[in-house]
Amino acid sequence: MSGELKENKKLPSLRKLSKELKISVLTTTRAYTELEQEGYIINVQGKGSFVLGNGSELIQEHFLNEIEENLLNAIDLSKRANISIEELHEILDKLKEVDTYE
């Protein structure tokens, strides 16, 4: 999610990774399976496992959940600070202008 691993990058084989990390192949298999179920990687039979991009539906859903959580926190803070929703919108608009948001 940080972008450290580029989209479509091939991941190490299960055996190679388990050997490098000195953990069982079963543990590595379980980790790859969980990553695939969560939409971070895809396993292509006979070719290996590859990183999915930010366009993956599950990754997009994760980002949306994180945005919603942060916005709910901002709303909560604004209520405690007696900042109206309109002022909160203005703050967001100003931040959007400062950032190179496209």
Q: Do 12 and 23 touch, CB atoms closer than 8 A?
A: no
Per-residue confidence at 25, pLDDT binned at 50, 70, 90?
very high
3-state secondary structure of 14: helix
pTM: 0.55
The predicted-structure confidence for 48-74, as pLDDT tens digits, reads as follows 999 987 766 766 777 788 899 999 999
Top CATH class of 14-51 equals mainly alpha
Which residues is 51 bridged to in the sheet? 41
3-state secondary structure of 40: coil
Q: What residue spans define the domains of the chain?
A: 14-51, 57-98
